[in-house]
Structures are given as C-alpha cells and as structure tokens.
C-alpha cells in the first residue's frame, strides 16, 4: 500500500491580514527562512503541543502530563521543572529557535541565518556524527551540544593552475605527435 502524503502544516484562514503578513515577513527575515511555509510548519508544531497541553491540563492524570513535559524539556522549550502553563505560553519564535539552522548561526558557525542555512543544506553540518541537511530539523538539548561543522578543504590555487598547465601541455604534445 502506498502512503498518502499529507501537508505538514495548516495555512491561515484569512487570505489578507496585513498584521499577520508583516509578522510572518519579519520572522522569515529574522530566521533566514526560505518562505512562509516554514513559519506555518512551526505554528502547526506549536498548535500540536498546545493541543496536547490542553488535553493534559483537562485531565488530572499525571501520566498524560509527564511525557508531554519531558518532550518539551528535551526540546529545550521549557525548564526541567516547567508546568503545562509554560507550554501554553510558548510562541512561534520559541519553536524557530530550536531549528538546526538557527543553532548553527547562534553557535557562531555562520555569520548570517542565510549562510547557516546554506551550510546545513550543503551537508557541512553533523549532529552526533550524522550528516543532517534539513534546516528545519528540531534539535534536542543534547543534540545541540554535539553539532560539528566539517568544511571541505579549499584547493590551493597554485596546484590547480599547475594541473591545468600540465593538462594543456599533454594536449599540445598529443597534437604534435598526430602531425608527424
């Protein structure tokens, strides 16, 4: 059976809301996002966490609260002694701050958010020794400690020029040999 793909986000209900559009554009620029779809994905993730938090708050069962609080703490969204109220007070910026792209910039591996995105997409970023090329990957606190950058060594210009000269000399020798 083929898995049916579904959207990972929900779009806004109102087509035109200038205040919302300005906030989204500000987030896109601040975090170096490719488009507003990435903002919508973060908002959908946040909506899901809040939905779970409301269900856990409505039931007095501690077994429902504990896994949710552990997940939010593991992601670095709340403190270890956080409550359900802390999850309900989260904002979209909090989710966007946990992305790999943002962590790369924050750790100083890139000067701008767009440069950080490029490093991630080009495969120069490793988390726990594994290459991760998804800028929207949500990091846990443990994974954030284990981010590495492995940049390829730049070729020496002199070596490249010498190789090009040698190749052109070989071509010239071949032409001379063909003429005889």
How does strand 147-149 pair with strand 125-127? antiparallel
Q: What is the dihedral of CA 92, 96, 97, 103, to 10 degrees?
A: 180
Predicted model pTM: 0.80
**Closest to 95 in 3D by CA, of 66, 71, 125:** 71
Coil, strand or helix at 17: coil
Residue 64 CB-density burial (10 A; 0-12 exposed, 13-18 middle, 19+ buried): middle
State the pLDDT at residue 154. Answer: 78
Average pLDDT over residues 9-25: 94
**Chain position carrying tokens 């986000």:** 9
Give the CA dihedral 159, 163, 168, 172, nearest 10 degrees.
120
Confidence of residue 152 (pLDDT cuts 50, 70, 90): confident
pLDDT, position 18: 95
Q: For residue 171, what pLDDT band results from cuts at 50, 70 and 90? A: low
Distance CA 3, CA 142 (A): 32
Q: What pLDDT does 98 receive? A: 97
| Position 130 confidence tier, pLDDT thresholds 50, 70, 90 | very high
Question: Residue 48's pLDDT is what?
Answer: 95
| pLDDT greater at residue 14 or residue 159 | 14
Q: In the chain, what are the domains?
A: 7-98 (no CATH), 102-152 (3.10.290.10)
Indicate the Cα dihedral angle 55, 61, 64, 69, nearest 10°: 90
pLDDT at 60 over 70: yes
Q: What is the mean pLDDT of the chain?
A: 89
pLDDT for position 64: 84
pLDDT at 128: 95
């Amino acid at each position: 059976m083929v898995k049916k793909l579904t959207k990972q986000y929900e779009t806004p209900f109102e087509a035109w809301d200038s205040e919302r559009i300005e906030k989204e554009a500000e987030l896109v620029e601040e975090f170096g996002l490719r488009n507003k779809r990435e903002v919508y994905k973060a908002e959908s993730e946040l909506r899901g966490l809040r939905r779970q938090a409301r269900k856990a708050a409505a039931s007095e069962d501690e077994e429902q609260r504990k896994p949710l609080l552990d997940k939010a703490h593991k992601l670095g969204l709340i403190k270890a002694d956080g409550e359900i109220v802390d999850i309900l007070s989260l904002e979209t910026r909090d989710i966007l701050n946990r992305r790999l792209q943002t962590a790369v910039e924050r750790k100083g591996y890139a000067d701008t958010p767009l440069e950080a995105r490029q490093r991630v997409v080009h495969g120069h970023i490793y988390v726990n020794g594994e290459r991760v090329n998804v800028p929207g990957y949500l990091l846990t606190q443990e994974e954030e400690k284990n981010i590495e950058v492995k940049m390829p060594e730049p070729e020496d210009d002199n070596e490249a020029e010498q190789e090009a000269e040698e190749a052109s000399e070989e071509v010239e020798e071949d032409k001379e040999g063909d003429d005889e």
